[in-house]
Every structure is written in structure tokens, then in C-alpha cells.
Structure 1
Amino acid sequence: MLAGLALLESSPYQGAARRARAKIAAIMNEDHREPVQEVLGSIHVNEAAAETHDAVSLGILSDAIAAKRVVRLTYAGEAEDGSPDHTTSTVRDVETMGLLRAGDAWLLTGWCRLRHAIRGFRISRITHLEILDEVPPDRDPTLLRADLARWPTRQLA
């Protein structure tokens, strides 16, 4: 369990993972502490992507998803080389649905009111995020499942 939580250090759930690890460590049987630390010390992870310094706090984004809020985001366009193009930014209201890991990027998934469809927004291209007080109407969950069915994905829970 501790190894799995450690893998979340580079995810939007890093804060929750740290709290869960601390709780597990606090109740761990003293006889198990040293062997567990020895095993954990032998596990190494090479991150596929370099650490980014996104404009949007991942903790705030996770809170918006958990609260099922509509967010207003400023989303940078994409340049030909794949980098954010801030000259083609759009402002969108999005009904948050969850997170998706695609290759080396985290995406916010949700119903985009501008496009009237489910969209994925690279977190690295979200330059501003405002959590609105609005709770969106329930969307048919098969919409998201159908959209994800086009891609090889796995659900973590």
C-alpha cells in the first residue's frame, strides 16, 4: 500500500497520498516498520516526464473534481511543436468529471460547454482556473465511458 501511494507523488493526488501514507505509518506495527522501509528503499521510479510547474494547483483542481463543481478555465492553444500557445487561449466553462493520464500528461476530463461535448484538457495548458459555485446537472455516465472506449484506458478504482 505504501509503495502504491508513493507512486502518486507525481499525480494530482499527491497531497492525499502523503496524508494516507502518514496515517498508515502512524498505525504500523513496530515489528513491520524496518522490513517495510527496507523494501520501499529498494524500489525506484523513473518518471516518464520531467516535473512541470503548471499554472494551476493540482490540489485545487482535485478539490473542484471532488466537489463536482463547474470550473472556468483559460486554456492555451497548442503550437505546432506541441507546446502551449498562449496567443490562442480560450475561456471555457467545464463540468468536471475526472482526471485522465494520457502518456506523460494529466488531463482534466469534463463536459465542455463551449464545444457541447466531453473534452480532455491538458493540465499543463490550463493557465487560469476559477471554481464556480455552480453544481452541474448530472450527465449520463455512458457519455464518458463511450468517449474513453475509443482509447486503451484502465480505471484505478
Structure 2
Amino acid sequence: MNRTDRLYALVEELRAASPRPRSARMLAARFEVSVRTVERDLAALQQSGVPVYAVPGRSGGYVLDRRRTLPPLTITPAEATALAVGLNALAGTPFAADARSALHKVLAVMPERERAAAAEMAGRVQLLVPAAGAARSAEPVVPAVLREALTAGRVLRLEYGDREGALTSREVEPVAFLGGDEHWYLAGWCRLRQAPRGFRLDRIRAVEALDERVPARHVDLSELDTLGSDLVPLAEFGV
């Protein structure tokens, strides 16, 4: 069994046993590898976002939170390939890294035969990319704290640089991400300017999520001329 298959099998072994823990020694015997190898595999799963937790004590071990995982998916190789092609469109957006992570999680819970067929089909798909040297916006680096604050509705404190590089500290009530081919922005209510503002992600030098919740406030994003084009909610695309 190669490592990829073993990682998948480890998840399924822990899923079947949950909520009872499985010790590293027990898992090592099950997959005929060393305890050290199993511990490295479990650490890799944890780092990739799989909700595996260590339970201390004599009867402890490792537990998978079944509420936060998917069982093996009845997804076809063509569907998996379509997901990969569609997620490729997120390159250059704040969600590119999350798209890659999501695809890896989907593949990890597919049955082995379907996963192999998806890999074979994906090998027959080629995407056109800009020629070498062609201008293309760099993928914006978005701190996790910024994305999480937008979801949780928490006020942010930004260190923001303007086009001349001058820095200001601002408290911002985040509302949305605005994006296009050239730049991505965080839109929100700027308490410094007392008005809606769009903050270019590549000009945010530091960000801190405050304990304060975003108050109820209507912010009209149409007042922003940041993108110079109409705003189309992502929900219109079925998300």
C-alpha cells in the first residue's frame, strides 16, 4: 500500500471506529508499518485539515470527528475532473489556496478505483495558460484572519498603504470581497473616512481581528467605483 492509499485508509479506519479512539500502535499493526510512520501520517492528515484529534490517557489514541468529514463520495471521474477544471478558474483570486485544499479533500474521500480513473482522465485534459512573459496578476495573499473575520462578522484593524505608500491605521467593518482580472479588494465601512471603501488586498500590510462584532449597517457597494464595472454576486452562479 502506497502512502496516499494508506492516508485514505487511515481516515476510513478512524471513521469506522469513531467515537472510540485508535492508538498509534494499533493502527501501525493494522497497516503493517511502524508506529513512527503512523504518527507522521496522522500529523500530515491534521496539517491538511482532517479533524483528527489525540485523546490522552491509557485508553486514549486518535479520534476522527465524523461530523466534520464526508464519507466516500459517489462522484464520477468526470465530475472530479470538472471540479478540478472549474476550481482552476479561481487561480489569481483570494480563494485559490482554499480551492486546492477543497479538491484534495474531495479526492481523499473518493474510492480508490474512482480516484485512479479521475487521475487518468485529468491527465488527458490540458488548459491554455498565458504565454510566458504575458502580464497576469499575482495571486493575492489573504491572511486567514481576514477571511475568518468576514465570515464571523468581526471588526478589523488594518494597516493600509495608499498608492504613494503612506500607511494609515483603520478600523473597518468588512462587508465583501470585490474581485476582477486586475485586483481584488476588501469592501467595508471605513470608520476613519466614515464611508464605504475598497481596500486593495496587496496594499494591506497588517490585519487584526477585534473582539467587536460588526454592527447592523447598510453599506451600498454600488457607491464604490473601485472596479469600474458592475458587481455580480457570486450567489448568481449557484453558490
Bin the TM-score by the shorter chain.
Answer: 0.7 to 0.9
- Please give the root-mean-square deviation of Cα atoms over the aligned residues, in Å: 2.6
Which amino acid is the alignment partner of residue 190 of structure 2?
A: C
Q: What's the % identity of the aligned pairs?
A: 35
Alignment of 1:41-60 (within 5 A): 42-46=126-130, 48-51=135-138, 57-60=142-145
Residue segments in structure 1 that go unaligned for 5+ positions in a row: 80-84
Give yes or no for the alignment of 1:89 onto 2:167: yes
Distance 1:61 1:44, change over 3 A: farther
Displacement after TM superposition at 1:6 (Å): 2.3
Distance in 1 (alpha carbons) for counterparts of 2:213 and 2:224: 23
- 5 Å matches for 1:1-157? 1-26=83-108, 27=110, 29-30=114-115, 31-39=117-125, 42-46=126-130, 48-51=135-138, 57-79=142-164, 85=165, 88-140=166-218, 143-144=220-221, 146-147=222-223, 151-157=229-235
Ranges of 4+ aligned residues in structure 1 off by more than 4 Å: none
Aligned partner letter, 2:163: E
Judge conservation of contact 1:95–1:111 (CA < 8 Å) in 2.
Answer: yes
Q: How many residues align?
A: 144
Letter in 2 for 1:20: A
CA distance in structure 2 between the partners assigned to 1:102 and 1:114 by the alignment: 26
> TM-score, normalising length from structure 1?
0.76
CA distance in structure 1 between the aligned counterparts of 2:119 and 2:137, rounded to whole angstroms: 31
The answer to which structure has the higher strand fraction is: 1
For structure 2, which runs of at least 5 residues remain unmatched after alignment? 1-82
**Residues 17-40 of structure 1: per-residue CA shift (max 9 Å, x gap):** 12211122232724444123322x
Over 3 Å counting, the alpha-carbon distance change for 1:107 and 1:23 in structure 2 is same
Deviations 1:86-132 (A, max 9, x none): xx221110001111114411111111111111110011111111111
Residue aligning to 1:82: none
Larger Rg: 2
Shift in alpha-carbon separation, 1:17–1:77, aligned structure 2, 3 A:
same
The answer to which structure, 1 or 2, has the higher relative contact order (CA under 8 A, 6+ apart) is: 1
- Could you tell me which amino acid in structure 1 is paired with residue 147 of structure 2? S
